[in-house]
Amino acid sequence: KNQVEQSPQSLIILEGKNCTLQCNYTVSPFSNLRWYKQDTGRGPVSLTIMTFSENTKSNGRYTATLDADTKQSSLHITASQLSDSASYICVVSGRGSTLGRLYFGRGTQLTVWP
């Protein structure tokens, strides 16, 4: 069964600290993996995308890693800011279907305290 599991479910950190969010998936065949940021009451916004051959991708203070062999990804946030408080969703795209099916994790709710 194609699944995407994220951990932790929620996380609280102090402003300026770093954190790492985890994503494990079983989707096969794999096409790409995206991390989205979703502010409360808003739609998700894409942060990074990685294909099978890529193992790291940065977007400002956000750095995503991918290990396609172990089917694991992480999102590292450096020097956190209050505006980083949001839900971070890992989304995996399958390959070989006409839908290009997306599989969504439940998200990690990050809260940054001053």
Q: Which residues bind another protein (CB under 8 A)?
A: 4, 9, 31-32, 34, 41-46, 49, 51, 89, 93-100, 102-107
CA dist., res. 39 & res. 83, Å (int)? 9
CA dist., res. 62 & res. 54, Å (int)? 16
The minimum distance between CB 114 and another protein, in angstroms, equals 25
Q: Provide Rg for the chain, Cα atoms.
A: 14
Q: Which is nearer to another protein, 78 or 104 (CB)?
A: 104
Q: Which is nearer to another protein, 5 or 15 (CB)?
A: 5
- The residue behind tokens 């794999």 is 30
CA dist., res. 52 & res. 31, Å (int)? 7
Q: Which is nearer to another protein, 18 or 28 (CB)?
A: 28
The minimum distance between CB 42 and another protein, in angstroms, equals 6
- 22 φ/ψ angles, rounded to the nearest 5 degrees: -115, 150
The minimum distance between CB 38 and another protein, in angstroms, equals 8
Q: Which is nearer to another protein, 49 or 68 (CB)?
A: 49
CA dist., res. 81 & res. 83, Å (int)? 5
The minimum distance between CB 52 and another protein, in angstroms, equals 9
